[in-house]
Every structure is written in structure tokens, then in C-alpha cells.
Structure 1
Amino acid sequence: MKRTGKAMKAARGKRSAQWLSDRTADLGYRVSPTVIAKLDSGHRGSVLSVPELIVLAAALHTSPVNLVYPGPYQGRVEILPGRNAGEFNAAEWFSGVYSYLGRDGVGAPEDPAEQWQANTETLRQWRYLDELFITKEQMDDPKHIAVLDRQIKATCDRLGIKLPPDEVFGRDTIELKTGDDDARQRLAPGEHGKITDTKRGEIFYATTYLRLHSGKLREREASSRKSAEDARRELKRRIKAELETGEPTGVINRSTTLSELFEAWIPAKIAEDQIGERTVTLYRDTWRLHGEQQLGELRIAELSTSRADAHLKALPPSPATYLRIILTGMYGLAVRFDVVKHNIMRETKAAKAERKPARALTAMEFEEVRRAVEMFCTRKGPGPRRGRMLPAFVELLAATGVRPGEVLAIEWPEVDLLADVPTVTVSGTVVDSGRVAGKPLHRQDERKGGAPAHTVTLPPFGVQVLTELYGVTGPAGTVLKNRDGGLVSLSNIRSSLREALAPHEHLRWVTPHSFRRTTGTVVRDGLGVEAAQHQLGHAQLATTEGHYVQRVTAGPDTRAVLEKWASNQS
């Protein structure tokens, strides 16, 4: 037992006894963690039954002989009380190569090849019988089926299996039916054959053949120490659970962990939905921080809806929302691979962030922001001038209504100040360092979500600021540049705006994105909501109304129409 315990521990590596016990349970015969732990420690009272040895070997992807006689094969081992043999010879005896056991151990027969053939003949006949059944299931021609039936009966005779002469046997049923064409009834996917009861020792066994949804035929067995009926109930319960779980059809299966599923889902998401690099980085960061350690080692079938829901509700609203998107996509992939029947994430809910209504700057507040920014940039002090591009950044945000990163990405060839109607075209965005894994600050040559280039007209104050900038940063590259002539970081210029407005408590709510909402609200109030939608470049009008224009909270002047109605005047 000590030798077997060491071999098991080496085969499973750093995995726990509980892990190995779960693997044996997946195979239909659980070996308790206590038994495994005793074998690990070389406990003198350790006992391992033959079924336990077999299922442990299967769980560790090895053969029983490798656990009993793991090598190295230079030494001698005790194979029976008081009988020793070389470990290699002992392994051959255990495997059936030799059947002769001499006084001093294993003795070689006169013809080892002939002895091996004799020892393994029964196994070969059973394998041949199984191959005959598989071949028969693929046949439609009655003549071919009749030939196979004769071969099956002859093989059964050699194995000592008595078959009624008027029945045609298959692997998938015990109660065999015959018709005019002497053909048996084939099990439909999801059906099982007759359950056979046997008793071995003090244990009752229930056995049947199950046809999976994939069409594959598999033998299933359950056991009980109580009664044959209890074994039958357990077998039916296992079959029901297996059919509900589904039959895997690809590289993802019931043993796949959530971390492995995530790594399979990300490439599929990129290929199918064309998500951008920033979104990929966001998903990877969210999973690394909020999913990998907390859920990553669970297998696909081990995460329940209630546990997923509780985990999401324990997170702040923003990461909870993104993690739910990730897990929903992952389990959607698992459904497509037939690993699970339904997406467990559908009924989960993430805590919603408090939604603040869109707020726009009044004309007076905008003027105060301008003055605060100007004071911040012209204030004297040691070191280089702070917020060099901040005034122009604020003016262009208000003049265009485009996103802050898109303002920083505007290039001079996209600016037309000499046209009758001056315009600027936005075709990309600036992405800060770290927003895309492994990439520094850079310009992305497409707008958010891969949207097409967007052209907006420029009001006079926008034309003025660009005219002044042309002599500083033109005529090539981006309109806004840092001291070295490179791109301006959004995080840096956002910090400068926050610092400029810090002394003014009533303006601290203002962020770079506030100007986009302000422009949308001003255009809505002057030209209508559809004009605001076009200015902001939204594909859906609901996006503009729900998130980017300040809600109207006062009704129109309806005094005349209501008075006319109440006075019953036509």
C-alpha cells in the first residue's frame, strides 16, 4: 500500500486528495478523500479494493499495474507473503504476461508468447464482440446484418454466453424485439435499455446501456448496500442528471474549469463580435481581479445561479456589470458546446450603479470654467507651464461635442477652416497607456465601437481657437500636442482640469465628458433632439435622449389651450 500511495501522489502532482476523489466520482465510483489521504501517508491500516484501484487508475489516466508496481524496475518486491520477485517480473505477472508463480517468485513459461496469447484470449474475444456490435449498428442491408448476427452468436459461444436462437442481440438493449425482418428496436437518443440487477458480495448493482443525445452508446452502473431497488433509483438519478447536463461536442467539456473556459471564450468573442483591444483588456482585467481567484478553479457544472448571483452582488456595480457580461458569454459558449443545457447567468442580477441624470453647463457656468482654466494655466510658479493645451481642449470639447479622446486625436488634415462652413472630421481616438495590454499611449485609427468618421461644423469660437493653434502645432500631426510634439494623455489633461476647478466648489462636478452633454443639450434646445443626435454621432435617438441631454423638467405654456377646453369653446 505504501508503494501504491507514493505512485498515486506522484501521478496527481500538486492536486489535492479531494480533487482525486471528485475525479473518481465523475467516473461513477467515488473513493473517499480519507482513503486517499491514508494511502498518501502510508498508513498501516490502508486497504484498497480492486474496484477502488481500477477507478483511481482511470482517474489518474494510468493503468492499475502502474499504481501497484510503479518502478523503477531494478529492485525486488514482495508479491505474496514470503515471496519476492523482480519488480519488472511482478508487473508482467500482474498484467497477464506470465501466469506461472514459482516458489521464489515469478517464473517464465517455456513459451512466453503462447502464454500471453492464452491469458489475453478472453479479452480479445470481448473486444471482437464489441466491434461486431458497432459494425452492425452502421449496417442497413439485411444480408450484411444476418452475417454479423452469425458472427456474434459464434463469438458468444466461444465466450460461454447462451443466446436464444430466435433473437438478434445488440449492445444497447436487454429486452430484444423481433419483427418480420428479424431486426431489433434501436434505442432513441436519451433512452436507456432494461436495467439489470446483480449482487456481488454485500453490494447490489444496477446496470444498463444509455444512448446519449450524440447517438453514442455507453454502459452505466450504480450500486447500493441497501437494496437492488435503491441501486436502480440511484442509476436513474445519474442518467437523468447526465442527460440534463448534455454531451460535450468539442474541446470544452464538463471537466473544463472556468479559467480555461474564459481563455476559450475570449478568442471566440474577438472573432465573432469584432470587439476592440480596449474591450479585450477591460474583460481580461475584470476577470483577473474579480473572477480568476474567486471562481476560476470551479468546473463549468459546479457554478450555480445562486452562487454566481451572490458573487455579483458582493462586487461594486461597475465590475459586477462587466463580470456578468463575461460570465454570460462564457456560459453561452458552454451551451453551444452542449456542456450545459441552459445559461445559468440569465437570471442573475448585478447591483446597479446610481444613475445620475445628465447635467449640462449653463452659459454662465461655462464662462466660469473658462476663467478658472485660464487662471490655472497663467498662474506663475516654478517649473514648466501647467495645462499648456487645457484651454484649447475645453474650447474644442464645447465647440464639437465629440468625446474627449476623439478631440485629442483630431489631426490638422481633418480641419477645414477656409470652407464657407468650417468643419472638422473626427476619425480616431487617443488611447492612454495601459488601456490596451502591452501598448503605450497611442492613436487608434477608428472611433468608439468602430464607428465611421464623423464631421461636425465649427462655431466661430471653435474656428478662433484652431486658428490660434495652427501657428503653434500645425500644419501636420494632431491639433493638440504635448511639449515634445507627441500625443496628449487624456488622464493627464483630465487631472489638469480637475486641479483647475478644485478651488471652485460649485464646478467640481465638471469633467471632460460634461462638455459633450452640454453641447448635446444646447443643440437640442435650439434645433431639436434629432439635431443633437446627429451632432453627437449617435446611431440611436434613445441614447441621446437617455444619457446625453439634460432632461426638461418644466412643461410648456399650455394656459390658452387648457382654458379654451375648460370654457367649452370650439
Structure 2
Amino acid sequence: MPRPPLPIGDHGHISRRQTTPGHWVASCRVRDSDGHARQVTAAGDTGAKAERALVASLKDRARGASGTSGEITADSTVADLADAWMAERVLAGKLDKQTHDRDESLVRTKIVPHLGRRKLREVTPGSVDRLLRAVSATTPTQARKAQTVLKGMFTMAVRLDAIRSSPTRDLGALPTPPKKAVRALAVDERQAARQAIQTWRTAPDEDGHKPPGPRPTDLLADYLDLSLGTGIRIAEVLGLLWSDLDLDATSPTLELTGTLVQRKGEGLVRKPKLKGKYGYRVIYLPPFAVETLKRRLAARRPGETRVFATREGTYVSPNNVRRQWRAVRAGAGLEWVTPHTFRKTVATHLEAGAGLEAASQQLGHGNKTITATYYVEAKPRVAPDMAELLEELAPPALTVYSPLSTESDAEPPKQPER
């Protein structure tokens, strides 16, 4: 009976022999990726050195079987796979800089510390599940993103024949944190927010002294007006250009063409690509937002292309606006309000007045379910008026006897029939 062939990539028994004094040769047969078995040799001063050289040569051969030095095999580590997966996505043009930085951070801080040194053949569904649950215990959102990254990595490993099946295929569902109820600003709360901004950094302290620091600008008040007047995200508001606006039209509009992102090694930059398929859109502006923009236009520095610019002529950071808003809301009863609350307020107001479809289009969502679930404040459902119909279920009228009635007034008891 013929001997069964070696599995692809495996080698047979290593033998070594001395050819001349001080010269040893180690050899074995290895079955390459094309299915052919070939003799491989290596030499050394001793038999042990020759064998170690052959083993190293076999590893290099396995890594370079496809003509590249970075082939992924079952003996590759998870860290090697992560590098190959990231590099492949960049070469395919499927990854922008911001997403690359986010995924690279996930790999470096969450995945590699737990699994990085494991060989792919050693990774089990249990080991991946333990990793994800450990991350989920502190940062549930990061755990879900790490699960997506791991699925992409091991799908690549299966495609390259490094492993037979992905260890992410049989994972259990991650714990889902309870969803917070959507809350929008009521009329009095919107007024309280504007009033809090007006008094911010101008009201004296308990000793009657004005707080130190530079004089406040109208940045925060104008941001609030544009956020409530459009429903766009904070990074989109602060990334507006004057060329995006048509303020002199019969119906003034805003054409959304970009957003601000923080990129590693570059800082804060404007990215022309918007979030989601329906992010690029034209928005009609209400009069109060037009008034705010025209005032800023009249006060802008010559040649300034940004609607919101720092004193140095750079983009205003969303983090700076968030920090200012935290200072404003403290003590104003608005501690629960974030810049994203303004976007939810717009969605809730439009849904009530124009319907869910209009609210979804204003926010740039491709799915009305997202708008309804995460942006519109839920209101109690009003059941149809069934009061008249339900009255038919009332009990029959009963005779009521007064406690002051005399025995003679009472109806005599009926005699039993004989």
C-alpha cells in the first residue's frame, strides 16, 4: 500500500549526515503548495547546527511559498494576521485614514495584548469569547468593534487556507447595555440653554469679581443656533465653509460637503467624505439660522473661508466646544444635555410636525428606524376614543336604599312561592 502524501506545507523526517570533517548536511522532503514533494537541505559545522538551519529554512519556505515574505499560515501569530489584514485593506483602497487609525488602536490596545502571541492554529472560539467579554465588561462599544475586526481578520485567514474555519463563527452574543431613553429639549429647556450661554463667563462670582481668562465670543451661541436650525452633527457645523452657503436665495440653503476629523499625525482636518450614504445633502435654513450666519459673515476676517475659525485661522475643535458647553451647563439644570441632544431635539420636533420621513431626511439617515430608535423622543401612544363603546360594559343600575328610610317606607319582602 503506498505511503499517504504529506499534508501541504509539512515536511518528513529530518536526517543528517557528516560529509567531511566539520561539515554536516541535514535534509528532508517537504510538500510545497503546488502538491509536489521536494528535497530540502541545509549545512552546518555540526549535525545540530545543520538541523537548526534546515528548520529555519523550512519556516522561511512556508512564509515565502506564494512568493512573498508575509504569507499567513497556521503558524503565524494573531499579531502577524492583524498586520496583514490592515495592509490588505489599505492596498484595496477600502480604508480611510480615520477608520485605519481606529482599527489600529483596537488591535494594539485590545486584541494583541490578549491574543497577539498565539499562533492561528491555537486560537479557539473560547479564547476569542473570553477576550471580547473582558473588553465588554469595561467598554461594551469597543467590544462590538473588536468583534467586527476579529471577524475580518479570521475571514482573511480562512481565505488564505491558514485555518479551516474561523474561531469567530460560533461566538455567543455579547451583553447589550440597556438602551437609554431618547430625551429632547423642551421649549423652556431650549430657552434655559440660550440664557445659560448668555450669562456664561460674564456673571460675577460670589465675591463680585469677573472670572479670569479671555473674553467669551459668540461661538457657543452661534453653534447652538446652527445646530438647532439644521440638525447636523457638531463636526459638520464646525466644518462649514462659506462656499457651502447660499444666504441670498429666496429660500437660503446649506450644502453639506464635509466634516471635521481628528487624524493621527495630522491633527484636526476637514474630510470631504460625510458619514453614511445619505450624508451629502442640501438643507433649507430657517430665518434665525440665516440671521446668525449673516452676522458672522459680516464680521469675518478678509479671505477667511471657514464659518467657524479660531484666532489663528484654523478650524475650531469640537472638543473645545464640548468643553465650553460643559462649563455652561454646570449648575443650569442641563447636566444631561450634550451637543448630540440638539440633534435629537431637531429630530423630535420635525417628526412631530412633519413626520418621521422628513426628520430622517433632514438628519441624513438612510433608514427611518435609526431616526425613530435613537433620535426621536418617545411619546405615549394615544389609543382611539372608545369611551362610548366601553360604556356598554357598565353594570346595570341598582336601587339604592337610604339609611334614613323607615321600616314602613321599605318595600315588604316577597313571600316565597308555594
Normalised by the length of structure 2, the TM-score is 0.74
Q: Which of 242, 249, 264 is the equivalent residue of 1:419?
A: 249
RMSD: 3.2
Task: Tell me if structure 1 keeps the 8 A contact 2:182–2:378.
Answer: yes
Matched with 1:340 is: 163
| Matches of 2:358 and 2:277, distance apart in 1 | 22
Out of 304, 320, 326, the residue aligned to residue 492 of structure 1 is: 320
The yes-or-no answer on 1:91 pairing with 2:91 is no
Asked if residue 439 in structure 1 is aligned to residue 266 in structure 2, the reply is: yes
* CA distance in structure 2 between the aligned counterparts of 1:539 and 1:311, rounded to whole angstroms: 33
Answer whether contact 1:377 1:388 (CA < 8 A) is retained.
no
Shift of 1:276: 2.3
Q: Distance in 2 between matches of 1:458 and 1:362?
A: 21
Q: Distance in 1 between matches of 2:383 and 2:279?
A: 41
Structure 2 unaligned segments of length 5 or more: list them. Answer: 1-8, 39-64, 204-209, 394-418
Deviation sequence 1:459-491 (CA, Å, 0-9, x none): 121112112111222674111111222210011
User: Residue 369 of structure 2 aligns to which amino acid in structure 1?
Assistant: A
In the alignment, the residues of structure 2 paired with residue 388 and residue 477 of structure 1 have an alpha-carbon distance, to the nearest angstrom, of: 18
Tell whether the 8 Å contact from 2:236 to 2:258 is kept in structure 1 after alignment: yes
Partner residue of 1:351?
A: 175
Where does residue 382 of structure 2 map in the other structure?
Answer: 556
Alpha carbons of structure 1 residues 491 and 261: separation in structure 2 relative to 1, 3 Å: same
Structure-2 residue corresponding to 1:507: 334
Residue of structure 2 in register with 1:199 after alignment: none
Residues 337-382 of structure 1, C-alpha deviations (whole Å, 9 max, x = no match): 1222222213323333332122111111111111111211534433
Question: Is 1:528 the equivalent of 2:355?
Answer: yes
Q: CA deviation at 1:444?
A: 1.1
- Describe the superposition over 1:517-537 as per-residue Cα deviations: whole angstroms up to 9, x where unpaired: 110110000000000011101
**Equivalence map 1:306-455=2 (5 Å):** 306-315=126-135, 316-348=139-171, 349-379=173-203, 380-386=210-216, 388-432=218-262, 436-449=263-276, 453-455=280-282
Match of 2:400 in 1: none
CA contact (8 A) 1:408 1:480 kept: yes
Cα deviation code 1:517-563 (max 9, x no counterpart): 110110000000000011101111111112111122x1225115x64
In structure 1, distance between residues paired with 2:34 and 2:104:
38
- Does the 8 A contact of 2:351 with 2:376 survive in 1? yes
1:448 alignment partner, SS class: coil
CA deviations over 1:393-434 (Å, ceiling 9, x no partner):
1111111000110000111111112111111111111123xx
* Number of residue pairs aligned between Structure 1 and Structure 2: 345
Please tell me whether the aligned partners of residues 201 and 211 of structure 2 are also in contact (alpha carbons under 8 angstroms): no
**2:100 paired with 1:280:** yes
> 2:382 corresponds to which letter in structure 1?
P
Query: What residue ranges of structure 1 are gaps of 5+ in the alignment?
Result: 1-25, 30-50, 56-63, 69-87, 97-122, 131-210, 220-247
| Higher fraction of helix | 1
CA contact (8 A) 1:425 1:454 kept: yes
> Do the aligned partners of 1:252 and 1:339 also contact (CA within 8 Å) in 2?
yes
1:387, 1:292 → 2: CA distance?
Answer: 45
- Residues 449 and 532 (structure 1), Cα distance of their counterparts in 2 relative to 1, 3 Å cut: closer
Aligned partner (choices 22, 26, 35) of residue 216 of structure 1: 35
The CA deviation string for residues 42-86 of structure 1, in whole angstroms up to 9 with x for no partner, is xxxxxxxxx7xx48xxxxxxxx57xx9xxxxxxxxxxxxxxxxxx
Is the Cα–Cα contact under 8 Å of residues 150 and 168 in structure 2 kept in the other structure? Answer: yes
**Partner residue of 2:117 out of 297, 309, 319:** 297
SS of alignment partner, residue 559 of structure 1? coil
Instruction: Tell me if structure 2 keeps the 8 A contact 1:286–1:323.
Output: yes
Query: CA shift at 1:451, angstroms?
Result: 5.1
What CA distance in whole angstroms lies between the structure 2 residues aligned with 1:410 and 1:351? 38
CA distance in 1, matches of 2:246, 2:202: 30
SS at match of 2:178: coil
Q: 1:261 to 1:387 in 2, by over 3 A?
A: farther
Residue type at the aligned position of 2:312: D
Identity, in percent, stands at 29
Measured in 1, the distance between the counterparts of 2:92 and 2:363 equals 28
The structure having more radius of gyration, on CA atoms, is 1
Q: Give the whole-Å Cα distance in 2 for the aligned partners of 1:403 and 1:252.
A: 41
- Does the 8 Å CA contact 2:309/2:316 hold for their aligned counterparts? yes
**Structure 1 residues 339 and 95: alpha-carbon distance in aligned structure 2, compared to 1, 3 A threshold:** closer
Q: CA deviation at 1:90?
A: 1.3
Task: Provide the rounded CA distance (Å) in 1 between the counterparts of 2:304 and 2:282.
Answer: 19
Q: Conserved in 2, the CA contact under 8 Å of 1:254 and 1:299? A: yes
Tell me how far apart the structure 1 counterparts of residues 167 and 378 of structure 2 sit (CA, whole Å).
37
Aligned to 1:467: 294
2:305 to 477, 480, 483: 477
Distance 1:487 1:90 in 2: 74
C-alpha distance after superposition, 1:18-45 (max 9, x if no partner):
xxxxxxxx9689xxxxxxxxxxxxxxxx
Q: Check the 8 A contact 1:389/1:481 in 2, yes or no.
A: no
CA drift of 1:294 comes to 1.7
Q: For the Cα contact (< 8 Å) 1:312–1:351, is it kept in 2? A: no
SS at structure 2 position matched to 1:492: helix
Query: Does the residue aligned with 1:555 lie in a helix, a strand or coil?
Result: coil
